[in-house]
Amino acid sequence: MDLQSTIAGFRNLAPLGDLEQAWWWSLNPVLHYTGALTADGTQLLQMNTRGAYSEDLSYAVLSFTREHERELLHNGRFLGFAEGFSAPGHAFDTVAVVAPEVAQLHKVQNPDLTPLTYAVFPAYSCEFSGNETLEEAECRYLKMLPTADIKRDPVPFLKMRFDNPRTGGGSTNPGRALTYERILLQELPHLENAPGGFIEFENRHAKIWRIEWHDGWFIAEEGVGTPREIGLDELLAFATARLGD
């Protein structure tokens, strides 16, 4: 496929500033697309934006991606990322790239372009473990991360399992599964007066903590020391901090 000829047919196409082999296009006032070819011209790096749009941010993201192509595109990951990114007016510190088999961009209108197109978006380092399976990459990109929102807050990487005999709440999965920070924070107070109950959570560094109720909250890091008693406020702050590490 001649990528440049294919892209030339996109609706409302315009150059993306002075970035070489990079373009902006849009199908309506809400959806904005920017893309740049890889250094060898064989693949498309595409950033999708819904609502608010910033040409400066798109330019910065695609420039950064090109500079880190080897790290982002050739590491065999379904969901790759490179830290050290910055853009004025934005808190993002990372750029993420999603492999074509996960992103599935252009699969409706231009399916031949799909296997050649990586999804690119600005992100936060706390959102990725670097070891996401195909299923986890699909869950993070397609369901959990609002990647097209350039004003979004971080969605930290979190795996969790729990059981609460008092409320009847608990996990249905056999192990820890991806979930949202708010789920962990809302379940921790419910562990009160639930002997036999527990919560396990894992952050992006694969560090795991277990919390149990024994006339108080007790916490221990897996493989490190013994459980210690902890107050609820301290526990909530601790969990939030570990997810942001």
Last residue of a domain, one of 112, 144, 176: 144
Task: Name residue 65's amino acid.
Answer: T
- Is there a single domain that holds both residue 19 and residue 115? yes
- Is there a single domain that holds both residue 190 and residue 106? no
- What value does the mean pLDDT of the chain take? 96
| Structural domain includes residue 132 | yes
- Is there a single domain that holds both residue 169 and residue 113? no
Predicted confidence (pLDDT) per residue in 89-121, tens digit: 999 999 999 999 999 999 998 999 999 999 999
- Is there a single domain that holds both residue 91 and residue 180? no
Euclidean distance between CA atoms 16 and 36, whole angstroms: 9
| Domain, as residue range, for 232 | 159-244
Euclidean distance between CA atoms 7 and 42, whole angstroms: 12
- Is there a single domain that holds both residue 90 and residue 135? yes
- Is there a single domain that holds both residue 171 and residue 99? no
Provide the pLDDT confidence category of residue 133 given band limits of 50, 70 and 90. Answer: very high
Residue 27 has pLDDT above 90, yes or no: no
Predicted confidence (pLDDT) per residue in 210-243, tens digit: 999 999 999 999 999 899 999 999 999 999 999 9
pTM: predicted TM-score of the whole model, two decimal places: 0.95
3-state secondary structure 164-175: ECCCCEECCCCC
Torsion of CA 70, 71, 75, 79, to 10 degrees: -120
Residue 1 has pLDDT above 90, yes or no: no
Average of per-residue pLDDT across 204-215: 97
Residue 74 has pLDDT above 80, yes or no: no
Euclidean distance between CA atoms 45 and 214, whole angstroms: 52
Residue 82 has pLDDT above 90, yes or no: yes
- Is there a single domain that holds both residue 85 and residue 179? no
- Is there a single domain that holds both residue 171 and residue 211? yes
Residue 192 has pLDDT above 90, yes or no: yes
| Structural domain includes residue 39 | yes
